[in-house]
């Protein structure tokens, strides 16, 4: 069973509002900003969406006219690895780091690289940020939720941050190198767009 089938059949899917998802996502985006808006204090959903789209344009697609059904659930480590990087042109950005577009493949490439100079300038910047985030996850023991979206028959992808998703897998790869396999779970918000179905 692939990840999309497993999620659609998951009895543990807990319905949540899209406002909750936007508030969570925006809180992550503004945590290092000075004079940042309070996601919980924004009076309307359109205002919340506008603040989020200003910082993450992909949110305009995620929270577009065709509304998704939103749920909270957990992924296994293998399912986390199988998620795709954020949608976009083939062979550009993150997709250039993995022929199959999987989060796990990108994390493995970063872990196996001798240093960031093996990648181009933009990828080098991404490499360093991911490694730093993975260090933070290992130091704090916290990793937060990811926002994952399924659109029709396309594979589920991470919408809110390839850096965070790859860093989570990178930290797990490091753990496995030291301690063997792990049965850890990762909590996500899961959005199902038109054309896909989920059991509620």
What residues does 158 pair with on adjacent strands? 148
Quote the pLDDT of residue 199: 42
pLDDT for 54: 94
pLDDT of residue 130: 82
pLDDT in the model for residue 182: 61
pLDDT at 68: 83
Residue ranges of the chain whose pLDDT lies below 50: 1, 180, 196-200
Q: What is the pLDDT of residues 53-112, one digit of tens each?
A: 999 998 998 998 777 889 998 888 888 888 888 766 665 666 667 778 888 888 888 787
pLDDT of residue 52: 94
pLDDT for res 190: 92
| pTM for the model | 0.81
Confidence (pLDDT) at 1: 43
Query: For position 78, what pLDDT does the model report?
Result: 84
pLDDT at 200: 41
């Amino acid at each position: 069973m692939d990840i999309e089938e497993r999620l659609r059949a998951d009895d543990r899917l807990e319905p949540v509002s899209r406002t909750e998802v936007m508030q969570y996502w925006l809180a992550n985006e503004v945590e290092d900003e000075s004079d940042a808006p309070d996601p919980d204090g924004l009076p309307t959903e359109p205002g919340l969406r506008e603040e989020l789209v200003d910082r993450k344009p992909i949110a305009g697609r995620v929270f577009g006219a065709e509304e998704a059904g939103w749920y909270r659930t957990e992924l296994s480590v293998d399912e986390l690895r199988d998620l795709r990087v954020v949608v976009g042109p083939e062979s550009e950005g993150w997709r250039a780091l993995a022929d199959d577009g999987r989060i796990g493949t990108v994390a493995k490439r970063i872990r196996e690289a001798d240093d960031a100079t093996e990648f181009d300038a933009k990828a080098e910047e991404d490499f360093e940020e991911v490694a730093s985030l993975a260090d933070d996850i290992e130091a704090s023991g916290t990793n937060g939720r990811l926002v994952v979206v399924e659109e029709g028959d396309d594979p589920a992808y991470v919408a809110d941050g390839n850096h965070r998703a790859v860093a989570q897998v990178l930290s797990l790869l490091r753990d496995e190198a030291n301690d063997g396999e792990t049965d850890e779970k990762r909590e996500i918000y899961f959005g199902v767009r038109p054309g896909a179905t989920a059991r509620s």
